[in-house]
Amino acid sequence: MAPPTELLARPERGSAPGSRAMGRLVAVGLLGIALALLGERLLALRNRLKASREVESVDLPHCHLIKGIEAGSEDIDILPNGLAFFSVGLKFPGLHSFAPDKPGGILMMDLKEEKPRARELRISRGFDLASFNPHGISTFIDNDDTVYLFVVNHPEFKNTVEIFKFEEAENSLLHLKTVKHELLPSVNDITAVGPAHFYATNDHYFSDPFLKYLETYLNLHWANVVYYSPNEVKVVAEGFDSANGINISPDDKYIYVADILAHEIHVLEKHTNMNLTQLKVLELDTLVDNLSIDPSSGDIWVGCHPNGQKLFVYDPNNPPSSEVLRIQNILSEKPTVTTVYANNGSVLQGSSVASVYDGKLLIGTLYHRALYCEL
């Protein structure tokens, strides 16, 4: 006969399997919820990337690839005198590159020449050319006609904004300043509004690559727009999925921001204190990248990615396509959106920018070639 203490303990031992079973049911339930959430987020990400979208070709008759641009021209900005600046050679972890060991640079093309060609600009001594990794660019012309070039730079995949003075007589860039700030953790594009003043987009809230991926996957909408001046730095717009291209209207009243994964262009009113107030959102059916403004008409020209999955998961047998949109009268109730150019990747892969000047169109790409067209 067992001692009384053993007899008392037996019911407790008998109930343990039921407790373990309940614990397992809870664990399986939680796992199922987690898997369902992950599946829903994955499906949502595919939709944001337009992963199943294909484009029908829209050709332009008078186009040719620009010699000397073989590994991307992510952004382009054109001065009123027809000098075009190209940001070339962008590299990011996990992003395809046709020249992974070659530093980036700034090229220039004179669109007033009969046969324009791209030339690399010399950069002043003391600037670290080996780690130059240019992204978005913007120009500013001061009252004394000094031309400043602002360049988003990712040296060793960090985030800075470089300010240069353009010296036209020498076809060179004089480096003036490097801007770093905690409110600029993941800078994508920039629009200059003064000799040391700019708006910039952060395409992510975090700078760490894993946290960036998690932020994108969970669709947190933490990306923002920052205003920078030597005296003040502040967030002026937020709540974007992935804030990308940015530009300013010809009358300096409005800021345009492309939210690439939300397929939207935001129109924001600029105030005297440089704060921004959202006026409207234009929804599109493509991943909108950089925005360029036709100064004569105010039209917005957009370099777009019809299928983001092809862009980030590169397959030479099924390359990323290209698309250029022209948006007229964006402030009206019904803006006119026209597909000016589209290609399945057979000519141009991953268009990121389209800029116009005097009947000429330049189309740049994230990591491929660049196209010159006469409209």
CA count, 13 A, side-chain hemisphere, 60: 23
74 is in an annotated binding site: yes
33 is in an annotated binding site: no
CB burial of residue 312 (10 Å; 0-12, 13-18, 19+): middle
CA count, 13 A, side-chain hemisphere, 226: 26
Please list, in sequence order, all residues whose beta carbon lies within 8 angstroms of the beta carbon of residue 197, skipping any fewer than 6 positions away. Answer: 227, 228, 229, 230
120 is in an annotated binding site: no
Instruction: Decide if 56 contacts 234 (C-beta within 8 A).
Output: no
Measured distance CA(113)–CA(184) in Å, rounded: 38
137 is in an annotated binding site: yes
CB burial of residue 177 (10 Å; 0-12, 13-18, 19+): middle
CB burial of residue 42 (10 Å; 0-12, 13-18, 19+): exposed
Measured distance CA(234)–CA(237) in Å, rounded: 9
CB burial of residue 91 (10 Å; 0-12, 13-18, 19+): buried
Dihedral angle of Cα 150, 244, 275, 214, to the nearest 10 degrees? -120
What residues act catalytically?
135
289 is in an annotated binding site: yes
343 is in an annotated binding site: no
290 is in an annotated binding site: yes
Rg of the chain on CA atoms, in Å: 25
| Helix pair 209-218, 4-48: axis angle to 10 deg | 90
Residues forming the annotated binding site for Ca(2+)? Answer: 74-75, 137, 188-189, 244, 289-290
Residues forming the annotated binding site? Answer: 74-75, 137, 188-189, 244, 289-290
